[in-house]
Structure 1
Amino acid sequence: MIGQLIFGVLFIGAMALAIYNARNIFRNIQLGQDERRTDQPAKRWKAMLLVAFGQKKMFKRPFPALLHLFVYLGFCIINIEMLEIIIDGLFGTHRVFSRLGGFYAFLIGAFEWLALSVLIGCVLFLTRRNISRLKRFFGIEMTPWPRTDANLILIAEIALMAAFLTMNAADYKLQLLGAPNYARAGAFPVSGWLLPLLPDTIPTLVGIERFCWWFHIIGVLIFLNYLPYSKHLHILLAFPNTYFSNLNPKGRFSNMGSVTNEVKAMLDPSYTPEAAATPLHFGAKDIQDLTWKNLLEAYTCTECGRCTAVCPANMTGKLLSPRKIMMDTRDRMVEVGNNIRKSKNNEQKDDGKSLLDDYITREEIWACTTCNACVEACPVNINPLEIIMELRRYMVMEESQAPASLNTMFGNVENNGAPWKYAQADRANWVKGS
């Protein structure tokens, strides 16, 4: 009973903390402006199934995609066994689903092969990050914490899978020795290899099996509550993020409702836009000016660096890194959310900071060529370009600040109806003599 009580307290406490963290994340995302992303549900389900479940975009690089698929499937499917562990922990049973007979043996055997694939995948990923040192895992935004975070998760997954296989091996040996409460159940094609390494005394084996059982369940509960502070939150958020993807063709920019209202008012003096339709800003200066989808994408970013690796501006040595754009947006969102929760009445107060300038510099924003390479490369359909364009819109339309070359182009469009510096009457002269 003592073990059951301890387990119950740990489980309830961990779930309560997970719910608290989830609520904070949801509230932070709600800081963004409203945006409709519920049209064309059939296309959205298809995008989620192909990109999030099927990991379609990952397979542009087959080798890491295959490793990621092993880790992803293995870790998710093995955690189905958590249901049995939770029931055993709460009610004091042992392998409660063993009554399923042959199907249970199939499940445990499949879990073991998947656990082995997770182990191999995580070891290879650690090697790629820390020994091969691939370029895209480094950059000015990849400070010690993001690199440590990635390594911690990989090491934790290795430890959890090792505990799972050791637990099964000890359980299997106890079954073979005829220990009380360890009836023959399950199949152990991988953990069976560990039997020669284990002792033959029943009390010691029970201690190993129980230790690994507690280590596994506590490790999973810690992992669950670590996710909100880690880039690995994409394990959960990749699914809603891909469902709410932008279904428009890449390169099609959205019209600003505020500008549309201004144009309609100019064309029709009787037009009166709704007060709610008028925003505080043109474009975005801080995270409150972005949409909830932009903020969801910031939380979903896995910091894999595929966007930055294909960015032509970054390749030529410019300051822009699309990955940094998403990381900075997330950091600013968390900061604002924490400030609100610390205030007396949960009010947003000006802390003297903003996403633009304090987190993302203007040099980064104007380095973007709007080529959409980052959008195409992202394995979970994140769109850094939307944030970049909203920050640009703010600088141009609110502050009237833009590079000299763009100001020249704006002037030509205003005066000549084209970006080039010649009169409209001369715009077709290039065809003469052809």
Structure 2
Amino acid sequence: MEYFPNILFVIVLIAGIGFFARNVKRLSRNIKLGKDVDVSDDKGQRWKNMAKIALGQTKMVVRPVAGFLHIIVYVGFIIINIEVLEIVLDGILGTHRLFAPLGSVYDVLIGSFEVLAFLVIVAVTVFWVRRNIIRVRRFIKPEMTGWPKQDGNLILYIELVLMVLFLTMNGADYQLQQMGADHYLKAGMFPVSQFMAPLFEGMSMSSLILLERTAWWLHIIGILCFLNYLYYSKHLHILLAFPNTYYGKLKPKGQFKNLDAVTAEVKLMMDPSADPFAAPTEEDAGEPEKFGASDVTDLSWVQLLNSYTCTECGRCTDECPANQTGKKLSPRKIMMDTRDRLEEVGKNIDANKGQFVDDGKQLLDDYISREELWACTTCNACVQACPVSIDPLSIIMDMRQYLVMEQSAAPTDLNNMMGNIENNGAPWPFNQMDRLNWAKEE
């Protein structure tokens, strides 16, 4: 029985990490359903982007209030993980405050953890008020109902509970240190939890030990539950922001990719010496590639990574001129729909022993409407606004390309323009011979 708590802790730890590993494997499988794309260029710049955007949070502070509060939560999340390491080692080894021999360094660490925990509580409270009382406009868009709204609030409650448990654990520990309880050696500074003393007045030593142990267990179990909750939450960006910013687009935002097949056709048309009836090369002899994207498997794995990384913060939609003028388009919804469809495809594969069985649905029309796609002005405001280098525009453009080149389903005005370019060499409905007639008019 002496080692029962240690054994129980190891079982809980293995179960938590095992379930997380299973989710990571599923996540990786789903992302790899996308088409391969070469993003091995300019590794130096990619590392700089990751350090600056994901680690340095430079795009978050464009909006100072939300950015500052987010940095508090972000720094708290990273630094308090040192405390989690001590808890894990204590649980495995049966020790208490294993890092206490660090002396004054340990005192500073515990003190900083407590200050950060308090600041996280303040930041989380402000975030909750912004979402539910002030109701900031970008948090009450049509796509932010149901689960997305619940998820945004639930994660705030989880963070609040974890910080309260941490301070309760430390506060009880501090009282036990003052009482000279066995195994509770005097170590650490408690600039916040020491003021919780009135809450513990009249409690016996055994009751305090029970409170401290309960808070300790709930805190670490809560962290393991939070870790596994990430896969089902928008807070997956805590992990994916780093690879997503590394693989983010390096080319100028206004530079769109060209399809090799289309480029070859244009070169053929522009080359007077080319033989249009020449036999296709071995490289061209295969089945022609599908133009654009109608479902998630037509997108690249980087675009699918983007969809899982989306924080649902709504900065993209807030900056979108189409959305501001009442159009149906919301870049945030584009990313949420892509992720939801990808999850549906993944579940289909799981249910059919590794094979996808046609479900009669696709990303186009079943999730993202044509009205949304054609409302986009391709201004790149959404790409510029995203704090983690997500590119909703690339998905919109790929789906537009499918509509135009596979279904000939462009809007009438666009079809007219393309017809004019083909026939007249310009977007206007005037013959080339008549183009300068305006200059002859008196």
TM-score w.r.t. the length of structure 1 is 0.96
CA deviation profile, 1:300-357 (whole Å, cap 9, x unmatched): 001111111111111111111111000000000000011011113x112211000000
Partner of 2:337: 328
Partner of 1:143: 145
Partner of 1:73: 75
Mapped to 1, the partners of 2:93 and 2:437 lie a distance apart of: 87
Choose which of 202, 205, 209 in structure 2 pairs with 1:202.
205
Mapped to 2, the partners of 1:297 and 1:429 lie a distance apart of: 51
Shift of 1:116: 0.9
Shift of 1:425: 4.2
Partner of 1:315: 324
Please identify, of 194-203 and 300-309, the stretch whose mean Cα deviation from structure 2 is larger. 194-203
Partner of 2:116: 114
Give the 5 Å matches for 1:96-245.
Answer: 96-199=98-201, 200-245=203-248
Partner of 2:372: 364
Mapped to 1, the partners of 2:282 and 2:416 lie a distance apart of: 32
Mapped to 2, the partners of 1:277 and 1:292 lie a distance apart of: 23
Q: Which amino acid in the other structure matches residue 304 of structure 1?
A: C
Shift of 1:270: 5.8
Give the 5 Å matches for 1:54-65.
Answer: 54-65=56-67
CA deviation profile, 1:128-161 (whole Å, cap 9, x unmatched): 0000011100122112110000101001000000
Mapped to 1, the partners of 2:325 and 2:6 lie a distance apart of: 60
Partner of 2:253: 250
User: Closer, same or farther in 2 for the Cα pair 1:399/1:20, shift >3 Å?
Assistant: same
Choose which of 400, 407, 413 in structure 1 pairs with 2:421.
413
Partner of 1:338: 347
Q: CA RMSD in A?
A: 1.8
Residue pair 1:75, 1:115 contacting (<8 A) in 2 also = no
Mapped to 1, the partners of 2:395 and 2:337 lie a distance apart of: 11
Mapped to 2, the partners of 1:125 and 1:191 lie a distance apart of: 23
Q: Aligned with 1:47: secondary structure?
A: helix
Mapped to 2, the partners of 1:272 and 1:341 lie a distance apart of: 40
Partner of 1:296: 305
User: Closer, same or farther in 2 for the Cα pair 1:327/1:429, shift >3 Å?
Assistant: same
Structure 1, unaligned stretches of length 5 or more?
none
Please identify, of 353-362 and 34-43, the stretch whose mean Cα deviation from structure 2 is larger. 34-43
Structure 2, unaligned stretches of length 5 or more?
none
CA deviation profile, 1:83-109 (whole Å, cap 9, x unmatched): 111111011100111111111111111
User: Closer, same or farther in 2 for the Cα pair 1:350/1:240, shift >3 Å?
Assistant: same
User: Closer, same or farther in 2 for the Cα pair 1:45/1:430, shift >3 Å?
Assistant: farther
Please identify, of 207-216 and 187-196, the stretch whose mean Cα deviation from structure 2 is larger. 187-196
Mapped to 2, the partners of 1:323 and 1:66 lie a distance apart of: 22
Q: Which amino acid in the other structure matches residue 39 of structure 2?
A: R
Shift of 1:433: 9.3
Shift of 1:257: 2.8
Q: Which amino acid in the other structure matches residue 283 of structure 1?
A: G
Mapped to 2, the partners of 1:137 and 1:282 lie a distance apart of: 35
Residue pair 1:265, 1:272 contacting (<8 A) in 2 also = no
State the identity as a percent: 57
Shift of 1:117: 1.0
Q: Which amino acid in the other structure matches residue 362 of structure 1?
A: R
User: Closer, same or farther in 2 for the Cα pair 1:321/1:12, shift >3 Å?
Assistant: same
User: Closer, same or farther in 2 for the Cα pair 1:412/1:122, shift >3 Å?
Assistant: same
CA deviation profile, 1:51-105 (whole Å, cap 9, x unmatched): 1111111112101100000011112210221111111101110011111111111
TM-score w.r.t. the length of structure 2 is 0.94
2:414 is the counterpart of 1:398: no
Partner of 2:388: 380
Residue pair 1:31, 1:292 contacting (<8 A) in 2 also = yes
User: Closer, same or farther in 2 for the Cα pair 1:115/1:357, shift >3 Å?
Assistant: same
Mapped to 2, the partners of 1:251 and 1:33 lie a distance apart of: 23
CA deviation profile, 1:405-431 (whole Å, cap 9, x unmatched): 001100011011111122334546667
Partner of 1:286: 295
2:36 is the counterpart of 1:34: yes
Q: Aligned with 2:374: secondary structure?
A: helix
Q: Which amino acid in the other structure matches residue 229 of structure 1?
A: Y
Mapped to 2, the partners of 1:111 and 1:214 lie a distance apart of: 18
Shift of 1:205: 0.8
Q: Aligned with 1:122: secondary structure?
A: helix
Mapped to 1, the partners of 2:122 and 2:333 lie a distance apart of: 30
Shift of 1:272: 2.1
Q: Aligned with 1:80: secondary structure?
A: helix
User: Closer, same or farther in 2 for the Cα pair 1:110/1:273, shift >3 Å?
Assistant: farther
Residue pair 1:265, 1:271 contacting (<8 A) in 2 also = no
Shift of 1:368: 0.6
**How many residue pairs align between the two structures?**
433
Q: Aligned with 1:174: secondary structure?
A: helix
Give the 5 Å matches for 1:35-50.
Answer: 35-50=37-52
Shift of 1:265: 6.7
Mapped to 2, the partners of 1:331 and 1:107 lie a distance apart of: 41
